[in-house]
Structure 1
Amino acid sequence: MIKPSYIGNLLQRLVLLFLLGVGACTTPPPAPPTAGVPTSAPATANSPSATPSPTSIPPRLLTICLGQEPESLFLYADQSLAANSVREAIYDGPFDLVGFDVQPVILEKKPSLVNGDALLEAVEVGGGEIIMDAGGKFTTLGEGVLYYPAGCSQADCAVVYSGNQPVLMDQLVVRFKLKAGLLWSDGAPLTAADSQYSFQVASALYPRYRPALIQTTASYQALDALTVEWRGVPGYRDPQYPTNFFSPLPQHAWGGFAPEQLLVNELPRRMPLGWGAYQIEEWTPGDHIRLRKNSYYFRAAEGLPAFDQLVFRFVPAGEEALAALLAGECDLVDKSALSEVDAPALGELERTARLKVIYERDAAWEHLDFNLAPLSQPDPLAAAIANRDLRQAMAACLDRSAIAASLFGNQSEVPVTYVPSSHPLFNPEAPEYPFDPQTAGAKLTLLGWIDHDNHTETPRLAQGVPGVPDGIPLQFSYLTIDGATRQRAAELVRASLAQCGIQIDLQLLSAEQLFAPGPEGVVFGRQFTLAQFGWETSFQPPCFLYTQSEIPGQYPQHPKGWGGANATGYSNPEFDQACRTALATLPDQNEHRQAHLQAQAIFAQDLPAIPLYTIPNRLAMRVDMCGVVADAAEGNAMFNIEGFNYGEACNLP
């Protein structure tokens, strides 16, 4: 299942990585079932829950332990990891993201400009209609608006609208075709109309799901039983267009409900219909969800899934979840239940063959942010931080490889930029800063930061540093989340910087305190000096995180208001232009790749944030388990749940 990409709300976009192995999870209380609505499907003679005859083969059972219980399985409600893990069993696709590429599942193919399922069509646009202007902003076409006419995508051919006649602009059109013969788990045909219905529901519930996609959609309609067409706002070129398909919802079963009712009705919340490998059979609040093999699954002829029954158990995250796995009560423990398990302890259990661990290596990336545009009281070190030479020297003072290895063994890497090396748009030629405290120390001295007493235990002092009074120590406040892993990482950062005569004063805050929106919030209110936190790895390189338009602040000076993501306050017109080009071109076009590479090179040179390490997700399972695949782009290893197996079947060719 596709995970939502750039979500409009900052607090949704921000990954509070204490949920990714660096802090505690909480389990919401289960919602009580509504009177009169069943929470289990009736057993039939062919159902796995029916009493087997003396000669029948016992049903094969797969048990997966989750660290929390979902609140709802309705597609546009609970977006927790636990809810999405269960949804992977009842929906398959509609496409998967593997290796940062779109792989169709229930679609015939991935649309592209090359195969003709995507095209730029010249359409007539009149005054007052919504467009994307030449600056990348959504606006109404009116007198004085700069826009790209049809066939134009560069500044040298942009035109100012005169306001007196319709104009031709390019509109991105994408057609998606479903595979023939797909059925819902109740046997009803799954059609393009179900995808159109899903779009209508998502639009009515805006901004719950993919709000940016809904905002940029001019129309979404079924053309026939298998084909649906998406049209973007004129002037908008979406680099993620192959994912602009809305996952079908069963209109035949839910069409009589108002969209708001789907959020509270027990059938879509607890017993949703799907087309995937399994279908919900029973939900016992506070304990488990039981599913059975979907006899209408479109891949059933391939012998999938391998199990007759699937149970998702809800267990406390941490040691209890691990104990349940070791006791044979779970076949697999989802990453939501491993958040508090120490990585070395898990590695030792794997080395002694008591369990198997699968790692999703580049799930997120941790970084050290500099506040380059503080809104708090004047900082005597603000001028020093503004000098990129100092930031580069600090990067060379950090033994990031040792920090990553100490935290995650060999399952983490030091990213060069905001793009992992596994991404096809990664720039391998971007500047790097390997650990070299001697060279970094010499550079600090040249910048005017003097080791006055020849002791690294004490911070260097300013002497002739532009904008910094002489005698000011090279000493920064350093904020991060109060989870055990992050605290350990911050202490390693402190020890590493101390080798260069740089001192940090560590302050641990709760996630709620650290990420509170501005103007009161310390990070997104730009009231910090240095801060360490993480962002989730995304399908498209997230250069937008460091653009000027994303700087949080007072509207209208700052277009995103206090919802901007660029807490560093970094502003570089050259970087902004490269990022704008990358986000306004299609992946099929050469300038798309070149713009992303250029943006990364500028970022790595300027270093508004120092990438520290990637954060791996972990799944633990029985040693004879197979078919489990972890991928950073997909973000949930359950995407291949139909292929899970264990025992002798894993040894078959």
Structure 2
Amino acid sequence: MKMRNLLTATVAAIALLGPATLPAAAQPDKSQLVVGQLQFLKNFHPLIQVNNTKRLQVNYGLLPLTAFDQNAENQCILCKELPSLENGLAEMVDNPDGTKGMRVKFTLLDGLSWGDGEPVTSQDVAFTLKMANDPDIGFSEFNPWTRASDIEIVDDRTFVLILSEVTPSFASWDQVLPSHLEAPIYEANGTADSYVKQTHYNTDPTNPGLWNAAYMLSEYQIGTRLTWVPNPHWPGKKPEFERIILSYRDNSSALVQNLLAGEIDAVPVSPGGISFSQMLDVQRQKGDGLKYHIVDGTNLERIAMNLDNPILADVKVRRALMMGIDRKAITEALFEGQQPVANGLLPDSNPFFNPDITRYSYDPDAAKALLQEAGWTQGGDGICVNDKGERLSFDLATTAGNQTREQIALVIQSQLGEICVDIKPTFVPLQEYNGELSRRRNFSGLIMSSIRFSPSTTPGIAVASDAIPTAENNWVGNNFSGYSSPEMDAALNEFQQALSAKAQRAAWQTIQQQFAEDLPMLPLYFYAEAYVTVPDLSNFNVVTYDPLMIWAQDWKRE
């Protein structure tokens, strides 16, 4: 009852966020689009310390080589034709040691240029690949360049990526960097810390030569605003807007008020914007006065646990925590049931979902019984202790300013308190969370954030032994729990070599079951992908896997 009352109070508090009276909206300037945002980036480099919030901001001006569209189909973005085994642009080859590798051929779009007029060339790809394979730098692992061990340059626009292993994601690749600007910086700064401080993306972000999309950055006001304007050298469709302005607020309540007042034209629904519950409240207040773009999502909200902590290393404790959280009640109270409970790494609706995995329903009695088996008994203050006198107490850290996460952290504190677990919520600024706290694993208990597995991204980024961030790998990887399992690594290896849908499905089945048994993370729910916009914004297609601003040149106001 206590937990239900807390959820009810949380929802009631959300309803108070809208202003009592709103000023009359000014006549809209349809030559521009103002997008409300939270969490201004301190590190603007597109391939280092990447997270979902960064991808939503950087992709206005820097495009990946390929991306998944609103139909979840992989498409060429900077290239002419997507490689496949069928069209011969991808082929399996024999490596000198007798193993199998791949050769994947791309041709860049005709006329593709950086915003300063310099052409985007195969040399830029070669430079990006060189940096990616430098262990002292540490790029992201969404569609990592490190899958390619070498490159053959055919001409200025055509190149062949050489992969030492067969992988189903051979046709999915991240952004390319401008060698004419970044190569001198890289050569002079051989470590990640030094390079990040000196890269043009952080020292001179409005340099047009950094951007290769339909828009390029023209204004950069720290903590306040980013302004994107048309790239005069973009060879594709001319953008519809004269500028797209990312306008930052300190908290999501301010975004709600500005949206209702007509001061912003669009806002993401977490991450980087308002919460889903706030969107529902806006919808109740504004109705058809705004447009609500909602699709089922694949972004998993999860709690990572530091398994170096001997208490959390006990799988019985982890399972008890899972059974002590009423995820269904959370999604019903905060999201009106529109965000599905996560039973594992994939949504139940995913065609690769394994329906036979071990599931953990809310069962506080079973949770307390498991804790007793693990040696924990309730102390005088209601919190469990073991025979060493240690209390069953953990910090739970998440990103400050994200209202949904802050609310859920408080609810989880209440729920786990009912099974004698003491939870101390802490709310950390995004930059600190993504840096020192999570990537350097400077936490002893629990941290809450999200992760997405696209069709081209191996789940190994979060559960493989070699994805544990360490000083040796320059803190690259999303295995913040520090989970290491030979069985999981073997299943991930099978997935990495699976080219057919049947083989991929079989590998996914094993991965999901191993995950469910070991519980290296606590899955909570899957985000719906959502935006709220002015009603006359068209061609604004919310996508499931990649940022929708990759296609920003198509947006317009009718």
What TM-score do you get using the length of structure 2 for normalisation?
0.72
Aligned partner of 1:493 among 412, 431, 439: 412
Does residue 349 of the first structure (1) align with residue 278 of the second (2)? no
In structure 2, what is the Cα distance between the partners aligned to 1:561 and 1:282?
31
Q: CA deviation at 1:569?
A: 6.0
2:453 counterpart letter in structure 1: S
- Mark the runs of 5 or more structure 1 residues left unpaired by the alignment: 1-21, 23-57, 125-148, 151-168, 463-467, 648-653
Partner residue in 1 for 2:552: 641
Does residue 209 of the first structure (1) align with residue 139 of the second (2)? yes
In structure 1, what is the Cα distance between the partners aligned to 2:183 and 2:372?
73
Matches within 5 A, 1:535-546: 535-539=450-454, 540-543=457-460, 545-546=462-463
Q: CA deviation at 1:628?
A: 2.4
Matches within 5 A, 1:322-341: 322-334=256-268, 339=273, 341=274
1:493 counterpart letter in structure 2: I
Q: CA deviation at 1:259?
A: 4.4
Q: Which has the larger radius of gyration?
A: 1
Partner residue in 1 for 2:205: 269
Matches within 5 A, 1:166-205: 169-185=99-115, 190-199=120-129
C-alpha contact (below 8 Å) 1:67/1:336 kept by paired residues: no
SS in 2 for 1:481: strand
Q: 1:476 to 1:282 in 2, by over 3 A?
A: closer
In structure 1, what is the Cα distance between the partners aligned to 2:506 and 2:301?
25
Does residue 574 of the first structure (1) align with residue 487 of the second (2)? yes
Q: 1:447 to 1:230 in 2, by over 3 A?
A: same
Matches within 5 A, 1:188-267: 190-199=120-129, 207=137, 209-210=139-140, 213=144, 215-232=146-163, 234=164, 236-244=165-173, 247=176, 249=178, 251=180, 254=181, 259=186, 263-264=199-200
C-alpha contact (below 8 Å) 1:205/1:259 kept by paired residues: no
1:492 counterpart letter in structure 2: V
C-alpha contact (below 8 Å) 1:196/1:248 kept by paired residues: no
Q: CA deviation at 1:348?
A: 1.8
In structure 1, what is the Cα distance between the partners aligned to 2:395 and 2:203?
45
Q: 1:326 to 1:614 in 2, by over 3 A?
A: same
Q: CA deviation at 1:595?
A: 1.7
1:582 counterpart letter in structure 2: F
SS in 2 for 1:242: coil
Q: CA deviation at 1:582?
A: 2.0
In structure 2, what is the Cα distance between the partners aligned to 1:527 and 1:92?
37
Query: Which deviations, in whole Å up to 9, do the C-alpha atoms of 1:597-641 show, x marking residues without a partner?
Result: 21111222343443122345653322332322333421x332221
Does residue 113 of the first structure (1) align with residue 85 of the second (2)? yes
SS in 1 for 2:516: helix
C-alpha contact (below 8 Å) 1:517/1:524 kept by paired residues: yes
Q: 1:322 to 1:217 in 2, by over 3 A?
A: same
C-alpha contact (below 8 Å) 1:417/1:604 kept by paired residues: yes
Partner residue in 1 for 2:336: 409
1:434 counterpart letter in structure 2: S
Q: CA deviation at 1:270?
A: 0.8
Partner residue in 2 for 1:320: 254
Partner residue in 2 for 1:481: 397
Q: 1:571 to 1:214 in 2, by over 3 A?
A: closer
Query: Which deviations, in whole Å up to 9, do the C-alpha atoms of 1:221-248 show, x marking residues without a partner?
Result: 321243211113x4x3344322246526
In structure 2, what is the Cα distance between the partners aligned to 1:480 and 1:331?
34
SS in 2 for 1:243: coil
In structure 1, what is the Cα distance between the partners aligned to 2:441 and 2:118?
49
In structure 2, what is the Cα distance between the partners aligned to 1:532 and 1:225?
45
Partner residue in 1 for 2:34: 63
In structure 1, what is the Cα distance between the partners aligned to 2:439 and 2:125?
42
In structure 2, what is the Cα distance between the partners aligned to 1:205 and 1:522?
16
Q: 1:122 to 1:333 in 2, by over 3 A?
A: same
C-alpha contact (below 8 Å) 1:541/1:596 kept by paired residues: no
Aligned partner of 2:59 among 72, 75, 88: 88
Does residue 365 of the first structure (1) align with residue 294 of the second (2)? no
Matches within 5 A, 1:520-559: 524=441, 527-528=444-445, 531-539=446-454, 540-543=457-460, 545-547=462-464
Q: 1:203 to 1:596 in 2, by over 3 A?
A: closer
Query: Which deviations, in whole Å up to 9, do the C-alpha atoms of 1:405-442 show, x marking residues without a partner?
Result: 3233334221111233465543333232334567x479
Matches within 5 A, 1:444-459: none
SS in 2 for 1:220: strand
SS in 1 for 2:522: strand
In structure 1, what is the Cα distance between the partners aligned to 2:66 and 2:439?
39
Q: CA deviation at 1:60?
A: 2.6
In structure 2, what is the Cα distance between the partners aligned to 1:517 and 1:276?
31
1:271 counterpart letter in structure 2: N
Partner residue in 2 for 1:613: 525
Matches within 5 A, 1:19-58: none
Q: 1:369 to 1:204 in 2, by over 3 A?
A: closer
In structure 2, what is the Cα distance between the partners aligned to 1:266 and 1:437?
48
In structure 2, what is the Cα distance between the partners aligned to 1:409 and 1:182?
45
What TM-score do you get using the length of structure 1 for normalisation?
0.63
In structure 2, what is the Cα distance between the partners aligned to 1:430 and 1:580?
20
Aligned partner of 1:625 among 532, 537, 552: 537
In structure 1, what is the Cα distance between the partners aligned to 2:503 and 2:95?
23
2:107 counterpart letter in structure 1: K
In structure 2, what is the Cα distance between the partners aligned to 1:207 and 1:95?
23
Root-mean-square deviation (CA), in Å? 4.9
C-alpha contact (below 8 Å) 1:449/1:460 kept by paired residues: no
SS in 1 for 2:74: strand
In structure 1, what is the Cα distance between the partners aligned to 2:377 and 2:423?
22
In structure 2, what is the Cα distance between the partners aligned to 1:240 and 1:293?
32
Partner residue in 1 for 2:75: 103
C-alpha contact (below 8 Å) 1:481/1:487 kept by paired residues: no
Partner residue in 2 for 1:506: 423
1:489 counterpart letter in structure 2: I
2:66 counterpart letter in structure 1: F
SS in 2 for 1:229: strand
1:538 counterpart letter in structure 2: F
Q: 1:114 to 1:292 in 2, by over 3 A?
A: same
Partner residue in 1 for 2:309: 374
Does residue 434 of the first structure (1) align with residue 342 of the second (2)? no
What count of residue pairs does the alignment treat as equivalent?
509
Query: Which deviations, in whole Å up to 9, do the C-alpha atoms of 1:469-509 show, x marking residues without a partner?
Result: 69x99x832321265644532443355456xx622212123
Task: Name the stretch that deviates more: 70-79 or 99-108.
Answer: 70-79
Percent same amino acid among aligned pairs?
20
